[in-house]
Structure 1
Amino acid sequence: MSKIGRPAGPATDTVTTVLTAALELLLSEGGAALTPLRLHQATGVSRSTIYRHWATPTDVLAALIEVAPPVQRTLTGDPVADLHAEVDLLCDRLRDRPVAAFLQALVTMAASDPAAIPLRQRYVDDLVAPFRTVLTSDGVTGEVADDAVNAIVAPLLVDALLLDRPASRERAHRAVDLYFPQGQA
Structure 2
Amino acid sequence: MPPDTDPRTTRSRKAITAATRRLLLEHGPAAVTHVRVAEASGVGRATVYRHWPRSDQLLAEAMAAVPMPFFDTPPDRGTPTVEWVRAELTSLARQLGLPDVRAVTTTLANAALWDMGMDARRSGFAHLLAQRLSSALHVAQERGEVTLSSTGDHAAALAIGPLYYRATIEHAPIDEHLIQAAIDALGTWHI
TM-score normalised over the length of structure 2 = 0.75
Aligned to 1:101: 103
Post-superposition CA distance 1:123-149 (Å, at most 9, x none) = 4445555423432543679x6233222
Q: 1:27 to 1:36 in 2, by over 3 A?
A: same
Work out whether residues 34 and 57 of structure 1, in 8 Å CA contact, stay in contact via their aligned partners in 2. yes
* Secondary structure, aligned partner of 2:172: coil
Aligned to 2:26: 28
- CA distance in 1 between counterparts of 2:97 and 2:128 reads 17
- CA distance in 1 between counterparts of 2:52 and 2:129 reads 24
Unpaired runs of 5+ residues, structure 2, are: 143-147
Post-superposition CA distance 1:48-90 (Å, at most 9, x none) = 2212222334312322344445637573432111111111011
Which structure has more RCO (C-alpha within 8 Å, separation ≥ 6)? Answer: 1
Root-mean-square deviation (CA), in Å? 3.0
Aligned to 1:84: 86
Work out whether residues 130 and 153 of structure 2, in 8 Å CA contact, stay in contact via their aligned partners in 1. no
Aligned to 1:181: 188
- CA distance in 2 between counterparts of 1:160 and 1:124 reads 17
Aligned to 1:58: 56
Unpaired runs of 5+ residues, structure 1, are: none
Cα distance, 1:39 vs structure 2: 0.2
Q: 1:146 to 1:159 in 2, by over 3 A?
A: same
1:16 to 14, 17, 32: 14
Q: Does 1:75 align with 2:82?
A: no
Aligned to 1:153: 160
Work out whether residues 157 and 167 of structure 1, in 8 Å CA contact, stay in contact via their aligned partners in 2. no
Work out whether residues 87 and 173 of structure 1, in 8 Å CA contact, stay in contact via their aligned partners in 2. no
Q: 1:42 to 1:119 in 2, by over 3 A?
A: same
* Secondary structure, aligned partner of 1:181: strand
- CA distance in 1 between counterparts of 2:131 and 2:91 reads 13
TM-score normalised over the length of structure 1 = 0.77
